[in-house]
Structure formats: structure tokens, C-alpha cells
Amino acid sequence: MLSRRFWSMGVAAVLGLAALGAAPSAEAADGPPACAKIVFRALPSGQNDGEQEAGVYHSRFTHLELKAEVKSGEPQNYYVTAHNKKLDALSGAIPADAVNCAKAKKLPAPASAAASCVGDHFATVISHSGKQKVVLLYSINAKASAYCSAGLLGSES
């Protein structure tokens, strides 16, 4: 009777360990997520005129900076750079994957870009499909968001 109990506990332990080994781990992921959203704060008033860095995001998959052009101490226009370089221009329409990513992150589909990008805070949406990484920038005022710009991350980003 005692040996049967140990045998059944041993089988349960082996099955439990096998189940743990079969579960995929978050660290096992090889590449970046297909869709990501990163939120940045706006610059406070009273900044020095010129280009100012509002925020930086760095991970093992990418490096982004949110920057603003400042005049008379107030941010006039925000934009995204990667490793202090402007993003590559997007040729043609915004890919469907990027549009779907924005919708999945509860942001409006990108339509016509705003003339200048200002807001209380900002969101970047990164859509990664194949070799192409598309970055969409949105300004957010209270609860309303507006599409600002799109660009491509270079291959070394």
C-alpha cells in the first residue's frame, strides 16, 4: 500500500515536471512583439529653445526618442527619432498591420497627419511585420488622440 502511494506521487511529479517543461516561457521569444504601444509625457513649459528630448525608450529590440521643437519655452512640434536620427520616410500608404496595431491599442486609424504634433502626452505604436518596423506617433489631449506621423525604423535599430 505504501509503495503504491509513492509510485502514484512519483508519476504525478513526473507529469507535473513534463507539463512545466512543455509550457513556452516569455524569455524564449526570439523576436520583438508584432504590436507594441509606448507612452511618453510631454515636456513641461519653460524649456530652452531648440530641439529638446522629451523621453527615451530602450529595449533589446529598439531604441526611440521623443523630441520636440521648442520656441519661446513652449513645445511646438513633437517627433520620433531612433538613435538621434529621424525615422526613414514611409513610401506609400501605411501598412494594414500598422493600422490594425493602432486599433488594437485603442488608438484611431491613422488618416491625415496633424500639421503640428502637440499634446498632454504621446503614444507611439510600433508594428513589426517581417523586416519592416513601422512607428506611428499620436498626440493625446485629455482623452482625445490624434495621429501625427509615421516612419520606418532602420534595420540596426
pLDDT tens digit sequence for 126-139: 998 767 899 999 99
H helical segments located in 23-155: 96-104
Q: Are 68 and 76 in contact (CB under 8 A)?
A: yes
How far apart are alpha carbons 28 and 10 in whole angstroms? 28
Contacts of 129 (CB under 8 A, 6+ apart): 34, 95, 97
Residue 58 in grid coordinates? 530602450
pLDDT, tens digit (0-9, with 9 covering 90-100), for 40-93: 999 999 999 999 999 999 988 889 999 999 999 999 999 999 999 999 888 888
Q: Are 115 and 147 in contact (CB under 8 A)?
A: no
Give CA separation, 108 vs 73, 81, 111, in Å.
30, 22, 8
pLDDT of amino acid 6: 42
How far apart are alpha carbons 76 and 6 in whole angstroms? 72
pLDDT of amino acid 10: 46
